[in-house]
Amino acid sequence: MPPENNNRFFALSDITDRVQAILQPYIGKLFWVKAEISSGKERGGSFYCDLVETDGNGKIIAQIRCTIWSRDLDTIKKLFGEHDLELKLDDGTVVGFQCSLQYSSQYGLSLKAVAADPIRFDLTGRRE
C-alpha cells in the first residue's frame, strides 16, 4: 500500500485558466521584440517559427513560438519591398517584429507578429 501524503492536486484546466487570467490584461497589446528565427516554415501563406535569444556562446536563453498570419505576412513583404529589401525569414535571421501575446489552454503561450521593422534592423540583425 503506498504511503499516505497530503499532496494537493489541481486539474490541468484550473492551472491553464489561472494562467489565462494572469495574462489576460496583456493579450493583444503590441510591443517590439528583437530575436532570431529558428525552425521557420511558411505554410498555407502563413509563417510559423520559434523566436530565440542566445547568449555569447550560442546557448538559447529564451524561446517562444511565433506566427505571422498570411495577411500580416503580405503586408510585411510589401513594406520590405517598398524599402528595396527582400524579407528573408531563414533560420538564424535576426528580426525586429511587432508582436502581441497569445495564449491558449491547448497550445500554450506564443507570439503573433503583425509587423516588421526594415528600417531599424537589417537582415543580419545589426543595428543601423
- DSSP H helical ranges for 1-128: 12-23, 70-82
The pTM assigned to this predicted structure is 0.81
pLDDT at 85: 87
- Burial zone of 25 (CB within 10 Å; 0-12 exposed, 13-18 middle, 19+ buried): exposed
Mean pLDDT by 10 residues, the chain (128 residues): 81 94 93 95 96 93 97 94 88 93 94 85 47
Residue length, the chain?
Answer: 128
List domains and CATH numbers for the chain.
Answer: 31-116 (2.40.50.140)
Residues 6+ away with beta carbon under 8 Å from 97: 32, 33, 35, 51, 66, 68, 111, 113, 114, 115, 116, 117
Distance of CA 73 to the CA centre of its chain: 14
Q: What integer pLDDT is reported at residue 121 of this predicted model? A: 54
Tell me which amino acid residue 35 is.
A
Contact predicate 35/27, CB 8 Å: no
